Amino acid sequence: MLAQEFIRAKRDGAVLAPDDIKAFIGALTDGSLSEGQAAAFAMAVFFRGLEQGETVALTRAMAQSGDMMDWSHLNLPGPVLDKHSTGGVGDNVSLMLAPLVAACGGFVPMISGRGLGHTGGTLDKLDAIPGYNSRPDAEHFKRVVRDAGAAIIGQTKRLAPADQRLYAIRDVTATVESIPLITASILSKKLAAGLQGLVMDVKSGNGAFMPTLERAEALAASIVDVAKACGLPAAALITNMDAPLAPVAGNALEVSQAVAWLKGAREDARLREVVMAVGVRMLRLGALAASDEEAAEKLAKALDSGAAAERFARMVAALGGPGDFVERPEKYLPVAPVQLSVPAVQAGFVDAIATRALGLVVVELGGGRRRAEDSIDAAVGLSGLALPGQFVERGAPLALVHARDRATAEAAGARVLQAYQLSAKAGAQPPLIMASRG
Ligand code: URA
């Protein structure tokens, strides 16, 4: 079928045939399709949607557009599992969960992305570790997964290249927020990674791409159903992103906090709740526990014994980072030259936080990108963030800004202050785990 006829069919609301979808994705991958045609297709899907069968065909075609990883020849003594978050602020769950699940017997080949919009990216966080190679070749990646149980790396050129091309086009044509396109984009990479189980953490709230619970539920259902139709067992949790998850946001700051958490500093109950809930689903999907209680016990033991921290250390060293990184992260992580406290102007309970605005403060400090080609400043960000329900005295800090210079620190501090709403009475907080699927 001619590309323009294929696009016209979707524009007019027709259901596309799997073979035509495959041919279209083939042309997208080999470059014979123009950027304009790919963009027109994305916009047609944005408005017309896709039926589940079409999304399955699109996902499979994009997964098969490059290498498909196969773990069978390694005879791994456990299931190949992964989790994926749709993105948020202060969401460093992957850094803790990958080694934690590895310590419980799973193997986690995690292919993660860079920051997108106001959200942070796991890859940018790990790139804050000197020497860490987030782009190893396939053999090195497999060795690290086999030996450390987990490896977190970036998408290579050979993994789902059709998604790489289409994603870059969607990013600049206002076609990111399409449920079938997000589904196919995420799952194509996960299928190509050869997983045996996937848990999605779909974020909902004012710091998420899916602001309403209804849209988050629709995305969770789409991902779980399409994954299963493609032969990948999957489950999803919808978790609240009306506030940063960790009390920090920024690349080196989130790595430092994750390492401290793995080593035993676990004062933040919200973070623990999400790590544990997603971890339980992963162990159950991989048949590493027979009940949720057993899974939670296993995870707690792996944390408390230091086994999860040890897996993180092994992963970092195997990917070229310092051998003593977990013992002494402060020796290696960059520190911003200016630190400025943001005092509350009145006493009160933290009632609401404009989370997206906090994510944008980190971007403006240099911790995220304004354009795709920008480099980022790993040292900057926010720490000590006051979290929902917390009482803050007048003059006590709402956050600490980490910046390159005083002027940007002060501008960021003013925006942080605006992002917080305090009230005299402690308001009811929404549940952190809002719904689940699969
Ligand atoms: N993350 C992805 O990998 N793809 C999307 O489309 C959105 C988020």
Pick from 46, 83, 186, 189 the residue to mutate for probing ligand 1's pocket: most ligand atoms within 8 Å of its CB: 186
**Domains (ranges, CATH) in the chain?**
3-49 (1.20.970.10), 72-329 (3.40.1030.10), 334-423 (3.90.1170.30)
Q: What is the per-residue DSSP string for 231-272?
A: T--EEEEEEE-SS-SSS-BSHHHHHHHHHHHHTT----HHHH
Ligand 1 atom 6, closest CA: 182
Rg of the chain's alpha carbons, rounded to an integer?
Answer: 21
Cα–Cα distance measured from residue 185 to residue 176, given in angstroms and rounded to the nearest whole number: 10
Ligand 1 atom 2, closest CA: 186
User: Using alpha carbons only, what angle is made at residue 355 by residues 352 and 359, rounded to the nearest 5 degrees?
Assistant: 155
Q: Which pLDDT score, from 0 to 100, does residue 345 have?
A: 96
Let me know: does 89 contact 119? Beta carbons within 8 Å. yes
Let me know: does 183 contact 167? Beta carbons within 8 Å. no
Pick from 114, 116, 172 the residue to mutate for probing ligand 1's pocket: most ligand atoms within 8 Å of its CB: 116
pTM of the model: 0.94
| Nearest one of 161, 298, 274, 288 to 233, comparing CA atoms | 288
Atom of ligand 1 nearest to the CA of 182: 6
DSSP 8-state code for residue 148: H
Atom of ligand 1 nearest to the CA of 181: 6
Which residue numbers are catalytic? 82-85, 122, 170, 185, 189-190
State the chain's maximal CA–CA distance in angstroms.
67
Ligand 1 atom 1, closest CA: 186
Cα–Cα distance measured from residue 3 to residue 291, given in angstroms and rounded to the nearest whole number: 50
> How far is residue 68 from each of residues 133, 138, 248, 265, 303, measured CA to CA in Å?
21, 11, 36, 39, 32
- pLDDT < 70: residue spans in the chain: none
User: In the numeric block, which tokens belong to residue 258?
Assistant: 């994750």
Alpha helices by DSSP H, listed for 64-159, are 93-103, 122-126, 138-148
Let me know: does 66 contact 158? Beta carbons within 8 Å. yes
Q: Which pLDDT score, from 0 to 100, does residue 434 have?
A: 96
How many whole angstroms from 186 Cα to the centroid of ligand 1?
5
| Nearest one of 201, 246, 216, 269 to 362, comparing CA atoms | 246
Q: Which pLDDT score, from 0 to 100, does residue 285 have?
A: 97
How many whole angstroms from 182 Cα to the centroid of ligand 1?
5
Enumerate residues lining ligand 1, CB below 6 A: 113, 167, 176, 181-182, 185-186
Pick from 46, 91, 167 the residue to mutate for probing ligand 1's pocket: most ligand atoms within 8 Å of its CB: 167
